[in-house]
Amino acid sequence: MTTYILVHGAWHGGWCWHRIVAQLQRASHHVVAPDLKSLGRDRTPPEGIKLETWTEQIAALVQAQAEPVVLVGHSRGGIVLSTVAEQLPDKVRTLVYLTAFLVENGRSLRETAAEDPQSLVGPAMKVAPDHLTASVREELVREAFYGQCTDADVALARSLLVPEPLAPLAAPLRLSQGGFGSVPRVYIECTQDRAITLAAQRRMQAALPCRDRITLDSDHSPFFSHAEQLADVLLKI
């Protein structure tokens, strides 16, 4: 039995993994898909959220497992994977970046994302007046994130997306070869992604090469649009 911890991306919650959780559990694996603080059903106020907040939250879940885990992160969840691996390299069996931000030491997600001018995330973001959070413009939700998903999946997502705390996106990552760099990593790239374009995914992989690259002909949300294929990939990992 393998333990998988699934870390969702911006604006989402653990709910986005429901099909993947079910398929991994049917294969007799243990799966944890938490809501990061201030997201999903968690009501922690966003003004207190930093990257360290999410790192500590997921690190505690990793520490609670009896064996090293497979840590899977989607999109913005990639920076949480990296910082948790830096803290607990011996407790993470494999890092799996699902069309996720694989950010170099000393850089922030915001800096990395700025190098992807074709991404639709920038136009889709609506920053709150207090600059603590950003939400997604409803008219761009499907185009940016769910291009191959069913109308039912898009309706579900629209009803559950919540504002994203912005402070973690500006935090430079502090990573070392002996920590984060010692953990095997796999990148699952999505060729039809319009939130993190394939060119951006490839640039990040070139800067921080992974043990394996797996390619899905998917939009940004394969946990909906290619759930069976994604679950099969995770089972093989």
The encoded tokens of residue 133 equal 């959070």
CB 219 within 8 A of CB 194: yes
- Which long-range contacts does 57-62 make (Cβ < 8 Å, 24+ apart)? 58/5, 58/7, 58/34, 58/84, 59/84, 59/87, 59/88, 61/5, 61/32, 61/34, 62/5, 62/88, 62/91, 62/92
Q: How far apart, in whole angstroms, are the C-alpha atoms of residue 129 and residue 149?
A: 31
Q: Where are the alpha helices (DSSP H) in the chain?
A: 18-26, 51-63, 77-87, 109-113, 121-124, 141-145, 151-160, 198-207, 222-225, 227-236
Q: How far apart, in whole angstroms, are the C-alpha atoms of residue 74 and residue 19?
A: 15
Q: How far apart, in whole angstroms, are the C-alpha atoms of residue 124 and residue 144?
A: 7
- 75 is annotated as an active-site residue: yes
Q: How far apart, in whole angstroms, are the C-alpha atoms of residue 90 and residue 43?
A: 31
Looking at 38, 75, 119, 221, which residue is catalytic?
A: 75
Question: Catalytic residue numbers?
Answer: 75
